[in-house]
């Protein structure tokens, strides 16, 4: 489903962003990134990177979980169908179309008509009585 992929993509981008922050922290300590860019002496301190990575993960995990939950809820709410209570037409891109046309356009499903058991029980005695 398109909306699920959109939510997954958003979470993936957030995770990549937090991963980039952690990678930059380790590049700072392992190769002295600021010193390479701006000059000066490099003093490696891996304990600082462990602390920075831990803090970043403490922020990343709840952020990713909350974002995942919110995007799932958003896509669920956006997925509601607007159905006319009187004529039973469905809103499709700002137009009101029959259910059959909606199913064909959105789900590529061709429909066929039949009669449910409740309607058959109601209609058949009425049809027999009219004949």
Dist. CA 95–CA 25, nearest whole Å: 52
H or E segment to which residue 92 belongs = strand 90-92
Tens digits of per-residue pLDDT, 4-26?
Answer: 676 788 899 999 999 999 998 88
pLDDT of the residue at 121: 86
Q: CA geometry: angle at 107 spanning 104 and 109, to 5°?
A: 50
Residue with more model confidence, 44 or 2: 44
């Amino acid at each position: 489903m398109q909306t699920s992929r959109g939510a997954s993509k958003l979470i993936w981008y957030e995770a990549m962003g937090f991963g980039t922050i952690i990678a930059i922290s380790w590049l700072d300590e392992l190769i002295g990134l600021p010193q390479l860019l701006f000059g000066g002496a490099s003093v490696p301190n891996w304990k600082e990177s462990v602390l920075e990575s831990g803090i970043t993960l403490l922020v990343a995990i709840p952020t990713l979980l909350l974002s995942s939950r919110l995007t799932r809820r958003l896509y669920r709410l956006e997925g509601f169908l607007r159905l006319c209570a009187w004529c039973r037409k469905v809103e499709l891109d700002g137009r009101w179309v029959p259910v059959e046309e909606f199913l064909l356009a959105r789900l590529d499903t061709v429909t066929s008509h039949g009669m449910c058991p409740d309607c058959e029980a109601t209609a058949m005695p009425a049809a027999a009585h009219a004949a």
